[in-house]
Structure 1
Amino acid sequence: MLHSSLGDNTLGFPMFVMLVADFLLMDGILPCHQDLAAEGKLYQWSPGMFVCFVSHQWLSRMHPDPSGQQMAILRAALKGIIEESVPVITDLIAEVGVRKFKTMKSNVKRAISNGFLWLDWISVPQKAGLTDGEAIRKMEREQMSAIQAIPDYVANSNVFMVLAPPLPHHSTAVACDFNSWYSRGWCRLEAICRLLAAQETSHEIIIIKSMTSVVHAFAAHMYLTSVGDGDFEVSSDRQALHSVLLKTINRKLDYFASQGAAGKFMHRFLTAAADRLLSGLLPSSSPVNNGGVVPFLQKYDFKSLGDQHGHEWGPLHIAAIEGNLAICQSAVAAGTNVSLLAPYLGEAGKTLSLGRVSPLHLAAISGHVEVISFLIDSKAEIHQPCSSGPDSLHLAAAVGAKSFEAISMLLSKSADANRLNKVIGGAALHHVFYNVRKSGQAGVVQLLLQHNARPDAVDIFGATLGHNAVLFGASMETVKILLASGVSPHRIAAPRGLVGRGAVRCCRSAIWLGFSREALHAISEHSLFSWLHIAARHGRLEMVKCLLESDADPMAKSRRGETAAELARRHGFEDIYQLCTRLRHEES
């Protein structure tokens, strides 16, 4: 029996949720929507309910969690959050790069304990157990209605959680973690819907990495992420999602328009970014409208190509995001400063976190190679940093929508592959691993190495490329490229400079720099590890195997005195513990 309420009847398929308290009492394999409905465990959403939307990657074709491991981790993490035994810390790079701190307040934790969960397997009808043709067709119609309502489900939720512990896929044995979650088209759609929720200005997501590792991260980079570039098991799903995302974008644009002058900047920004968000969802897409200056000015509500105010981006910045080469050429011909650093305004200033940026920075992020080439030829400063530290090459590597193409163009225009980010000290190769887009990563690493990027470079935390590759879940192909380049996997990071040393030696001495205690602990911990320690700490089984095959010592201790096996056991990765322990016994 379903518990009905006076919910939102405008949804194509109602938003069904489950009490967190009921979920925490369950064990083993999670029942599907129909079984939970029959047991009276589902409730129809109504205003005032506190809902946690859980996005996750399925671990098999027919069941999201055939072994029950994924849901066991979710239960343990939720229990830890509620009981405050598991801290919710801010993502390391979010803090180091932009000083954007976030902690979960006690009242939110209490709300979670008394709240509800939305998760596709329990909230949407499933095929499991159905044999009757008419019942299957009814289920398929309900699923399609639910797909169309995903933006509403996300908008009605108070917390957006990504359940992404490192677990093997049931059929392929390929590791599924946050990186593979982000590579999935469906998961990207859910995250972008969070970003574009009609009146939502909070873009953080909560990532559950293990029973004891939960972090805040920020989804602002997804403004320039293509859902269509994600992976789909069924290719036709792309077309089904086009109308969903288009509706979401238009609804957000309507919201910005309703905010008057305060929403004008973000209306322009999202209008320019919309083509990128939608790209790849239809078999063919229309090119950027190069219909001339007047249509462009009307589209973005500019008075002229020189309509540049100190507090917002002008036409050249917007055209750089859009990839509109003709307008870029016209704006430069009209005398626009190609290297102007203009600050964000309003919502973007709080979420995109790059500070003041130039048109070249935006073109590098968006991956518009023709615009990149034109701006540099027009004397844009190729190594000009944005106010938060990275230059165009760093940005293309770290958050670029088309990293390989943009980096190739920048390098062809004499960008220095070894130039350091003035804030966190890393070169372009370090920034590659900050990019959650892993497809094509190995090619980007090879490209930079071919342009004399130093494989032994370190950042201010003493991390080599290998430390970052393992920490941020690089592809196995990338790790093997780094090992082949001669970088030692045995090296333990040794922080350098005021920030790095202060983070390791004394958290109190670095608080004044703006870092939270949790981030300092994460920095100091990883600054005392080798590649193998980090891989074991984060449950990266395939990387552990690869490093052990490269003669990494399973008995070597970190500067905290722990072996890889001990780290794995402390953080709940028993398979890695057993592997390292077995090798120790074999060697002895």
Structure 2
Amino acid sequence: MGAKLCAAEEGLTSAQSTVHECRFPLWAVRVADFLKMRGPPEHHEALRERGLLQKWEPSMFVIFVSHQWLSSVHPDPEGEKVKHLQQTLLGLIDGSLPVAEDIVSRSDDKSLSPNVRRRIADGFLFFDWFSIPQNLPQERGPNEDAALAVQSIPAYVELSNFFIAFVPALTHKDSSEPVNYATWLSRGWCRAELWCRLLSNKADTSVVVAYSKTEAEFLSPLDWHNNSIVEGEFTVEADRAAVVRLGEMAVESKIRHLQEKGPLSHYRLYSALRPHLLRQQRKEREIEEFLGQFCFDGWMEAVQDSSGMNAVMCAVMSGDTGILQLLAQSRANMNHTLQGMGDLGYYDTQTVLMAATKSRQDPSVLAALIELRADVNARARTGLVALCMSRSPAHVNVLLEHRADMPHFVLTCVSSFACPDTVQALLAHRCDPNQTGDPSVGPGYGALHAVALFSRRNRRAVDTAKLLLAHHADINARKEISGILLRQHWAARIQMGLLGFSNCNMVIRLRASMAGLSPLGYAAMVGHEQLTQLYLERGADLLPNERGDSPEDLARKNHHDHLLPMLATRSVQV
């Protein structure tokens, strides 16, 4: 989702927000001043007194930093987050931090332009502790400015030119729980900031996910698919209602903007997904209402439309099984394949049934499609079937009840993104956690590899891994590759040999390292501490990949220094 930052950059200069009300001025710190700071960051009042805060003006390039606090009273009590953020910004500015396409999309056609990097260097930082007045312990009574500023966060997101989800792997000082990308995705206000960015009417709505000073990627569309606006976790439960109202406003504004400006496919998708995004009850429509909402001139046009977001997709994504039945009666294609919607996470050649599973539609929608002769075993160009994209146990049950095949890699796919209950549903149907099959027609690795590879965006990754291990998944299985994966592997190794490991983005690193990689190797490579610890506790060997990189080597090369002590200890024991 969002325009490419390496392409046209007309969206880099903000205009005054016209969607969300700005009830308190946006205050920001010059990046140059932020880079000089040391230790725990000072709060808004202290920085303003020192003259380090600048009031927003249209000419300013603002970088919005969305992050999770490390304690209940201070976002960074020891200053470690400030240090990480400074290193990240320096990497963005000097080009040493490559920003890659996410590992799901795995393309190299998205990057930061030199102009954007220069604008960051001369820009201003929005960081809530700096930018929002704080309710400090010594103050008596509520801080009215603080309340107004919090209410203005959606407007601040709109006024910003660049959005960073800053998610280094750290530890919460109060709870000792991990703080990382998955926990950031779970937080209600972090989701609110994310969705205000995604739903803004800017030409560019890209989000950069910054894991460390050496690794950043553009947000995967699948990450917003799986995290609705209204289901986040809140420290103060009363905040949920406020976020729901913000979400409604943002969704309605986005729909109006797309209806006026296009593209039509995006308008139809957001209009269809509106109840789903806000977790509202879906409803069935009369034909005229359906045609009007999705901008079809007549029924036959709707039936015959073959665009990516056609009438069948509109009915499915809005959960309207009544219209779906009428379309089928008029001989609309229930096996319609998607095209031109990859930036929204719905990739070319995937079917409507696959879109229904990925978007977490009610099982009744899947059942209706299949009963209307959608092919439950149709394959996308990647070889995936709808069962691979199941997001709930009910999805699994509906598809298998309608005689869906179980490809050898189905458990690998489902373990990547779905919850443990969905994985359990497949295991209950005797799905083998160790079956990888022919690597030329599948990923060439098992479910434990998949859990590790995608663990940073899945809070239930450790639970899923424990479930798979309880069903005797092989903790020392090694990835096998052939065909296109083998060609990608050797191309990446050549590129890495020319540029060096540190100068390659994560997509290239993964491709160059994947041959012979174990689940522990993947966990070490992405830096997931809890999963690395679990695999070691369950007897994982320190197996090198075919390049000779041990898990310890991969952790070190990717700057996951927090993993080195436990990996080194195991190495001594071995």
TM-score norm. by structure 2 comes to 0.86
2:147 maps to which of 141, 149, 168: 141
2:239 maps to which of 237, 261, 273: 237
Aligned to 1:126: 134
CA distance in 1, matches of 2:177, 2:435: 30
1:292/1:246 CA distance change after superposition, 3 Å: same
1:76/1:390 CA distance change after superposition, 3 Å: same
Partners of 2:305 and 2:311 within 8 A in 1: no
Residue 580 (1) aligns with residue 567 (2)? yes
1:499 maps to which of 481, 484, 489: 484
Residue 385 (1) aligns with residue 379 (2)? yes
Aligned to 2:395: 406
Aligned to 1:424: none
Tell me the CA shift for residue 153 of structure 1: 2.1
- The residue identity in structure 2 corresponding to 1:448 is L
Partners of 2:229 and 2:244 within 8 A in 1: no
2:295 maps to which of 276, 301, 309: 301
Partners of 2:17 and 2:159 within 8 A in 1: no
CA distance in 2, matches of 1:434, 1:478: 9
Partners of 1:203 and 1:218 within 8 A in 2: no
**Matched position secondary structure for 1:446:** helix
Tell me the CA shift for residue 7 of structure 1: 7.1
What do you get for the CA RMSD once the two structures are aligned? 2.8
**Matched position secondary structure for 2:390:** helix
CA distance in 2, matches of 1:352, 1:580: 36
Aligned to 1:448: 426
Partners of 2:488 and 2:511 within 8 A in 1: yes
Give the aligned length: 540
**Matched position secondary structure for 1:194:** helix
Which range is displaced more, 499-508 or 44-53?
Answer: 499-508
Residue 335 (1) aligns with residue 331 (2)? yes
Which range is displaced more, 36-45 or 525-534?
Answer: 525-534
- The residue identity in structure 2 corresponding to 1:274 is R
Tell me the CA shift for residue 55 of structure 1: 1.4
Tell me the CA shift for residue 381 of structure 1: 0.6
1:92 maps to which of 103, 125, 144: 103
Tell me the CA shift for residue 342 of structure 1: 4.9
Aligned to 2:178: 175
Partners of 1:21 and 1:113 within 8 A in 2: yes
CA distance in 1, matches of 2:448, 2:535: 11
1:430/1:121 CA distance change after superposition, 3 Å: farther
- The residue identity in structure 2 corresponding to 1:64 is P
Partners of 1:429 and 1:448 within 8 A in 2: yes
Identify unmatched segments of 5+ residues in structure 1. 1-5, 280-284, 398-402, 420-426
Which range is displaced more, 223-232 or 536-545?
Answer: 223-232
Aligned to 1:317: 313
Tell me the CA shift for residue 102 of structure 1: 0.9
CA distance in 1, matches of 2:430, 2:365: 25
Tell me the CA shift for residue 335 of structure 1: 2.7
1:73-121 Cα deviation digits (max 9, x unpaired): 11112112222222222222211xxx46212222221211111111222
Which range is displaced more, 6-15 or 185-194?
Answer: 6-15
**Matched position secondary structure for 1:43:** strand
Aligned to 2:551: 564
Q: What does 1:181-220 align with in structure 2 at a 5 Å threshold?
A: 181-200=184-203, 202-219=204-221
Q: Percent identity?
A: 27
Tell me the CA shift for residue 337 of structure 1: 2.2
**Matched position secondary structure for 2:530:** helix
CA distance in 2, matches of 1:377, 1:154: 44
Partners of 2:316 and 2:324 within 8 A in 1: yes
1:434/1:449 CA distance change after superposition, 3 Å: same
Tell me the CA shift for residue 387 of structure 1: 5.3
CA distance in 2, matches of 1:188, 1:386: 31
CA distance in 2, matches of 1:365, 1:47: 39
CA distance in 1, matches of 2:310, 2:175: 49
Partners of 1:536 and 1:576 within 8 A in 2: yes
1:362 maps to which of 355, 364, 369: 355
Tell me the CA shift for residue 566 of structure 1: 4.1
- The residue identity in structure 2 corresponding to 1:34 is E
Partners of 1:224 and 1:277 within 8 A in 2: no
- The residue identity in structure 1 corresponding to 2:160 is S
CA distance in 1, matches of 2:101, 2:311: 35
Partners of 2:135 and 2:143 within 8 A in 1: no
Partners of 2:415 and 2:423 within 8 A in 1: no
CA distance in 2, matches of 1:482, 1:454: 10
1:226-270 Cα deviation digits (max 9, x unpaired): 2222222222211111221111112212212222xx433322221
CA distance in 2, matches of 1:563, 1:358: 40
Partners of 2:515 and 2:545 within 8 A in 1: no
Tell me the CA shift for residue 183 of structure 1: 1.9
1:142/1:155 CA distance change after superposition, 3 Å: closer
1:87/1:362 CA distance change after superposition, 3 Å: closer
- The residue identity in structure 1 corresponding to 2:324 is C
1:270/1:100 CA distance change after superposition, 3 Å: farther
**Matched position secondary structure for 2:236:** coil
2:444 maps to which of 454, 462, 485: 462
CA distance in 2, matches of 1:313, 1:109: 35
TM-score norm. by structure 1 comes to 0.84
Partners of 2:185 and 2:227 within 8 A in 1: no
Tell me the CA shift for residue 190 of structure 1: 1.8
Aligned to 1:113: 121
- The residue identity in structure 2 corresponding to 1:430 is T
Identify unmatched segments of 5+ residues in structure 2. 1-14, 497-502
1:53-84 Cα deviation digits (max 9, x unpaired): 21112222222222322222111121122222
CA distance in 2, matches of 1:81, 1:172: 32
**Matched position secondary structure for 1:500:** helix
1:60/1:416 CA distance change after superposition, 3 Å: farther
1:22/1:106 CA distance change after superposition, 3 Å: same
